Amino acid sequence: MKSCEELPDGCQQRFDRIDEKLDDIHTHAVKTNGRVTKLEKWNLVFLTSLIVLLSTNPTGLISVLKTITSWIR
């Protein structure tokens, strides 16, 4: 895996969007007395891990796209 310094600007933008999503979830949790649904937690965990995997592994992105196109057909 690449270190953060080696990632292209596009990856940094993705990580910034993840930070924004985390801030949104935190704001929602504050408004609801700290209750964040399990779905929100797992959605964020899955999304974050998928973005990190695909941004650091270009061949993984290609294989995911091939899998998605095979499901669509």
Number of domains in the chain: 1
pLDDT in tens, 7-60: 566 777 777 888 888 888 778 777 777 666 666 777 778 888 777 777 777 787
Domain interval for residue 50: 9-72
Rounded CA separation 17/48 (Å): 10
pTM: 0.38
Rounded CA separation 61/20 (Å): 23
Backbone phi, then psi, for 55, in 5-degree steps? -75, -25
Does residue 1 sit within a domain?
Answer: no
Does residue 29 sit within a domain?
Answer: yes
Asked if residues 7 and 56 have their Cβ atoms less than 8 Å apart, the reply is yes
Length of the chain: 73
Does residue 27 sit within a domain?
Answer: yes
Provide the pLDDT for residue 36: 61
Does residue 3 sit within a domain?
Answer: no
Q: How far is CA 57 from CA 5, 24, 36, in A?
A: 15, 27, 31
Does residue 4 sit within a domain?
Answer: no
Residue 3 — very low, low, confident or very high, per pLDDT cuts 50/70/90? low
